[in-house]
Chains A and B, each alone.
Chain A
Amino acid sequence: MHSLDSIIVVPPHCPGPGHQLRLRPGEKLAFGRAVEGLAIDHEGVSRHAGEIAAQGAFWILSNLSRTQTYVVENPEGAGEHIKVGPGRLDAPVPFEFARVVLPAAGELLSFEVWAPRHDHLPRHSDALDGTETLPAFSLDPAKRYFAVLAALCEPRLRGAPHAPVPTVEQVVERLAPGWPAASRATVQWNIDYLAVKLRLKPPAEQAGPGPRLNGKKEALASLALRFDLVREDDLAVLPCAVRQEAGVRQEAGR
């Protein structure tokens, strides 16, 4: 991701990150059946169906259709959505993750738009004037990715600084009580998204001697711990206390 890109568009049936489209602030992307940009190959979609434009850290949607209403859903928002009526131009979308749903001859087609640069008030600071030294990262503790990051950091935050980072399966198991849909795929999706959001640099091929973190999970956990993106009190976002610990406490109480 180029450092000035702020919006990522994921086409329908996107085979991989290489096919995602990236926008810088001010850049526009047209979508429709006959456009240069995001081509949506379906008879029920207008030739020029609409336009997405990156605006700083968020994006705006123009509905160029004369008849159809588009719906923009927040996949993590428990049904939260906005409607953008026919002919509406430059409607701002407030979601970090969005699914744009287009009705097409009785079918519903969709593609995703991510806004990983959303700003959040830094914790323990109400600085908004631009003169405060602030962390380079902005995370939303209410999002699933934050729970995934917390789960990755949990063993080290609970006092085992050299503990291995949990496997994807362990993260699924850890988060399942509060997130029934958690699966290998959804957890891995959040890990990949975190790498984009935290602008994780892929390790250089000819890095110097010494131990190197080889996995994304390890790199994410060490970055998060180094800059205190997740702290001990953040572990409250995880479903419940670690069972082992609870067991120890019970025994001690007897």
Chain B
Amino acid sequence: MTAQPYAVTVPRGYRVGSWEVREPLASGSFGSVYGARRTGDGAPRRAALKFLPTGTHTPRQLNHLRELAEREVELLSRLRAPRLIRMYEALTVDDPEHPELDGATVLVLEEARTSLDALLDSGVPAQAPELLAEVCEGLAQLHDAGWVHGDLKPANVLVMADGSVRLGDFSMAAELEGTHAYAPAFSTPDYTPPELVWPEVGERGRQIRASADIWAFGVLAHVVLTGSYPLPGGTAAVRRDATVRYALGEEELRLSPQLPDGWRALVRDCLAATHQERSAHQARALLGRIRRLTGAARTRRPLLPSRRKPSRRAGWAALSSAAVFAAAATVYALWPEPSVTYGYHRCPAGEVCFFSDVNGNGEMCHWAGDDDDWLRGRTRCAWSGDRPVKSVFNNNQERTKEISVAYWRGPGFVPTGVEPERDSERAGCTSVNQQGNLKGDYKLRSHSWIPRCDAEDAHPGPTVSESNL
């Protein structure tokens, strides 16, 4: 068992903001995570509290911990995507009577069931290819928004109650400035690409690129699918030397024979020796390849029955590379072509955003509250007068009630005369943290926040995220 230098001990029943600490969940590299429940009204009822020992009175006055905490808070407040763990809020403990806690940063996060690391303790998971597809999707969402994770490994992949996964622990994450980003000088040896084994470090940290995450994904895929590291050796130092020899061309890459067919080429591409070779394989393209490997049918997890008629417009995409999300008749195309770019990250936290083009591109109108007429009133959305909404992102994680947003073709929350055959009068509804393209004609005039898209929904609360399956 590893010593936990940065563990924070928090007593059961301890109150932080509106949260009451329950059981300890895990101790990570730089802090401790506890389960917690909300003391007042509102949703979600439970969350995971990550305590980072950043206090001014903590015995260890650690500068870098503050920097790491700031990085994670910054990324999670600015970037929301379905495959990234969600942060509801960030708090600072103000409690002079507990000097070891006073000043600690607390990240209130979506509660996960376990981590991929813990899942791997019981062998190769049965649903390994699907898990990897979701991890890769998380990377694609992160990279599309211009960030590098910097520390991708099984311990930082969280498994949710529904079995889906999300990326977590963004303390090493960095925003790309052009082709590279500056990340703290920390790394996990077995997931570090050759060029970062002994990185140069400047005043702003070490330079990393998105291709570092691709290498880490290759290692992770090999570990998940075979239970072993791709580079040989009994200790991390020997595996590091093997990595260096491989990068110098002195040793071949010998992947495990247990690696399923089809995955071999993909893992080999992720583990290309140089950044230049690896950068030809971007996360979004890898995701497309994984989808083809796993087969579209198996990747659709039918949590909700589809009540939607087949759409002619969705066409081939809906059949082979698109999954269908059907709650309240809103349809999202999910696996677009590899080369697309995304604009969802422009959407401010705590608001709903409607876009004039697919994938969060084009013009954007956004609201924190309701609007009964998009063409009049305080917030005007001029383009919606003659153009339909092509994509939507409900980025309202600040709200604790009325977390879904319903929208109508007419002003005043009513349909217009030409409402097509729909189960409900509204044009559609999007749950919290969902984003996607709207297939069909969504020329909208009003929207309103409601508790949930489907009152009979068996999957309540804000953690429902079928749109990204």
Interface residues of A (CB under 8 A from B): 3-4, 6, 24-26, 55-57, 117, 119, 123-137, 198-201, 203-204, 212-213, 219, 222-223, 225-228, 231-232
Verify if B239 is at the interface (C-beta below 8 Å from A): yes
Check if A128 sits within 8 Å of B63, measured CB to CB. no
Report if A130-B248 is in contact (Cβ < 8 Å); known contacts: A3-B195, A203-B203, A227-B64: no
Check if B187 sits within 8 Å of A4, measured CB to CB. no
User: Which residues of B22-77 are within 8 A (CB) of A?
Assistant: 29-30, 60-64, 67
* A185 CA to B185 CA, complexed, in Å: 30
B371: min CB distance to chain A, Å: 41
- How would residues 240 to 253 of chain B score, 1 for a CB under 8 Å from any chain A CB and 0 otherwise? 11001101101000
Q: A6-B198, A133-B187, A135-B185 are in contact. List 7 more A-B contacts (CB 8 A).
A: A6-B244, A25-B248, A56-B241, A117-B198, A127-B2, A136-B187, A227-B185
Q: How many residues of B contact A (CB 8 A)?
A: 49
Closest residue of B by beta carbon distance from A24: B248
Closest residue of B by beta carbon distance from A130: B236
Report if A119-B237 is in contact (Cβ < 8 Å); known contacts: A4-B198, A136-B201: yes
* A136 CA to B205 CA, complexed, in Å: 10
Closest residue of A by beta carbon distance from B205: A226
**Which residues on B sit within 8 Å (CB–CB) of A25?**
241, 244-245, 248
**Which residues on B sit within 8 Å (CB–CB) of A135?**
185-186
* A226 CA to B203 CA, complexed, in Å: 9
**Which residues on A sit within 8 Å (CB–CB) of B450?**
none
Closest residue of B by beta carbon distance from A225: B63
Verify if B349 is at the interface (C-beta below 8 Å from A): no
Closest residue of A by beta carbon distance from B67: A226
Check if A223 sits within 8 Å of B3, measured CB to CB. no
Verify if B189 is at the interface (C-beta below 8 Å from A): yes
Closest residue of A by beta carbon distance from B198: A3
Check if B197 sits within 8 Å of A3, measured CB to CB. yes
A-B contact pairs, 18 of them (CB 8 A): A3-B198, A4-B247, A4-B248, A24-B244, A55-B241, A125-B3, A126-B3, A127-B2, A129-B2, A130-B236, A131-B153, A131-B154, A133-B29, A133-B172, A134-B188, A199-B198, A199-B201, A201-B200
- How would residues 170 to 198 of chain B score, 1 for a CB under 8 Å from any chain A CB and 0 otherwise? 00100000000000111111110011111
> Which of A4, A57, A131, A231 meets B194, CB within 8 Å?
A4
B157: min CB distance to chain A, Å: 12
